[in-house]
Homo-oligomer: A and B are copies of this chain.
Amino acid sequence: MSHSSKKTILERLDAGEILIGDGGYLFEMERRGYVAAGVWTPDVNVEHPHAVEGLHQEFARAGSNVLQAFAYHAVWSRTEGRNEINESACRIVKKVAAQYNCLWAGGLSPTRIYGQGGSKKDVQEYFKGQAEIFVRHDCDFLIAEYFHSSEEAGWAVEVLKETGKPVLASLCITSQGDFKGVPTDECAVRLVKAGADVIGVNCKFDPQESLKAVAKMKEGLEKAGLKAHLMFQPLGFHCPDADNKHGYLALPENPFALEPRQLTRWDVHKLTRSAYDLGVRYFGGCCGFKAYHIRAISEELEKERGAKAESSDKHQPFKPMYSSTFGHMERNEEYWMNMKPASGRPFSPSYSKPVKSTLNP
């Protein structure tokens, strides 16, 4: 099948299709031993390309319609080797996307320049440089994501629109507003006015809070008489105790003791249904989302999508299980969806106090 014959993401969304992106690469690669927390750079694309390919494949098998190049993010400061890393990232993602008939996208994220007070011109110049490689590799669309400032995100969208590719824009904000105090509904309006085709929320806050933020965005668009598709790519960790500025980043457990907060597949089922009912049609996950979480999205929407994830062949959660020492266990959907999983940690509390930021108290 020739690439040009593929329907674009917008054609598909406009036609009412539900699309599923992929999950989080950084946390999973850190746990697999290929990415260093703190530095967080995707050298693995060059050092162990098979490992990246393997994770892309897991997502594709789990039902992802879209894979994202595991490229170097603007936010990381080191510059040596970046081109080589991103070249490799593009080659790998294209290969797996072709293999599984997925779309693929390149992503932009917040810049340090903006944080340091850089001008719109400087920031946009930077974004142009970032986007070039994805366009040269003929990505299917571009995503501006992880933005905690709607202003910077808007600037990114403007740059990305000039490439002629569809543009998705996703903010890391609560239902209250962005990092600079712009209310969430106004953030939505700003993104769409800047040209974004799909807008939404990803990462950093409790998934329930992120969902509220998407709802607020939808309200904003409705009030302004604007239209855009909605996307939702939440964090893979429960953090209702996070502060509304730094989210899970300020939790004392970040990044090496977040395990008890990890979403179950059933948490994802419930989130996905709520997001779908709200009108979200582009789904995915961010930090902490693994292949089985993506599969949970796919399985929750199996009827609506009329499609089944490849790895759902390895998933029969409601079939009785047997163990030689234990015997049969029959557990149905109701059982799992109402499960309040115990932590096995009686010395641990439910909530932590976020630590103070050294930058933005």
Contact = CB atoms under 8 A, between A and B. Distances in A.
Interface in A254-274: 254-266
Contacts of A260: 259-262, 341-345
Interface string A219-262: 00000000000000000011111000110011111111111111
A50 B54 contact: yes
Interface string A341-353: 1111111111111
Nearest to A149: B325
A315 B350 CA distance: 28
A31 interface: yes
Contacts of A323: 75, 249
Most buried by B among A319, A323, A360: A323
Interface string A28-50: 00111111111100000000001
A311 B30 CA distance: 9
Interface residues of A, number: 93
A360 B326 contact: yes
A358 to B, nearest CB: 3
Number of this chain's copies in the complex: 4
A58 interface: yes
A40 to B, nearest CB: 9
A344 B38 CA distance: 23
A122 to B, nearest CB: 16
B326 A257 contact: no
Interface stretch (A10-18, A184-192, A193-201, A289-297): A289-297
Contact of A264 (B75, B256, B315, B350): B256
Contact of A31 (B148, B250, B292, B342): B292
A58 B33 contact: yes
Contact of A325 (B179, B206, B353): B179
Given A37-B321, A327-B357, A348 B348 contact: no
Interface of A: 30-39, 50-51, 54, 57-58, 61-62, 75, 110, 112, 115, 148, 179, 206, 237-241, 245-246, 249-266, 290-292, 295, 309-311, 313-317, 319-329, 336, 339-353, 355, 357-360
